Amino acid sequence: MEIMINNTVLDTTLEKEKYLGEVVEAITQWLAESNMNIKEIFQDGENLSMDQTGTWWNRNISEITKLDIVALTNFEKYTEDLQIVYQYITMLGKAVQSQNFPLAADLIIDSKIIGETLDYFFPKRGHKGEYSSKLEKLIEKSSIRKAQESPENLELVEFLTKTAFLLQQRINEVTDPVGMLQASSQTLSDLIPEISNVSVLLQTGKDKQALNSVITFVELSENIIRLYSIIKETQAIDLNSITVDGIAFNSFYEDFNDILKELADAFESSDTVLIGDLLEYEIVPKIDTLLEYISVIEHSKE
């Protein structure tokens, strides 16, 4: 049996494998070591369903001539999944809004897997499964299955519209990570006065105002961390060559990221004293340096 991955012959010898499912499992593990995933499998020209492995798992490999596998990197799969979920959310929103109930009813059949994918894209500490749970609840409250207009339908449309906006932002990140980094850096620069004042706000009992600023900063920091990973993955810019005062960006990033994780933990445990100390003595002094790095990254693209 000849095995090809992305049109390249796989130079390997099958040893213990007897069934097709065993071969696919072995290749899946091998690809995972290179951060890749199987997208499609063709056996002698037949497209095998990845959702119904039971229909082909026990096929004897002695009866198979050729196996063609299409594989994606983790980043490619992430990008493709973003596009698929965005199209689904947009289509469902339009179907409900225009009262195209037959289409909406067909779409909500896949709502569970879409919700789980949204949880993966937008994980929240202490709120596991938030998106999938909310999507299912809004669908159940709606009158889609009854093919009727209702106020609950509008509530679902509002949720889908907001989610589509967030997904579009993520798509923008993978298509123009440096441009999005530039936008994030401007927002971060504008946020510095608020972050610098958090300790004072906490000391004067203005906890809500202080924590709102921290939430905004944490979300923005997560965006920057994600953009850093995308730029590194796509090699849009050689981050190893980015330095400020002789310190490589990668080294600064690792140190800064550790502090951000500590801030997130402090926020999760509502440790306002630690939040204030981290912002005042660790994070704020490093923000100007971070902005310098981002500036160098921006100019590296020119």
In what helix (H) or strand (E) does residue 4 lie, and over which residues does it extend?
strand 2-5
* Torsion angle defined by CA atoms of residues 115, 116, 118 and 121, in that order, rounded to the nearest 10 degrees: 180
Within 98-150, where are the H helices? 101-107, 111-121, 130-141
Instruction: Supply the pLDDT for residue 254.
Output: 84
C-alpha to C-alpha distance for 69 and 155, rounded to whole angstroms: 42
Token pair in block for residue 83? 């596009």
Distance from C-alpha of 162 to C-alpha of 169, rounded to nearest angstrom: 11
Amino acid at 231: I
3-state secondary structure of 99: coil
Full pLDDT tens readout for the chain, 302 residues: 899 999 999 887 777 889 999 999 999 999 999 989 999 999 999 999 988 899 999 999 999 999 999 999 999 999 999 999 999 999 999 999 999 999 999 999 999 999 999 999 998 765 678 899 999 999 999 999 999 999 999 999 999 999 999 999 999 999 999 889 888 888 988 888 888 888 888 888 888 888 888 888 888 888 888 888 888 888 777 777 888 888 888 888 888 888 888 888 888 788 888 888 888 888 888 888 888 888 888 777 65
Please name the residues in contact with 177: beta carbons below 8 A apart, sequence gap of 6 or more.
227, 230, 231, 234, 236
The pLDDT of residue 125 is: 60
Say what the pTM is.
0.81
Give the pairing type, strands 36-43 and 66-73.
antiparallel
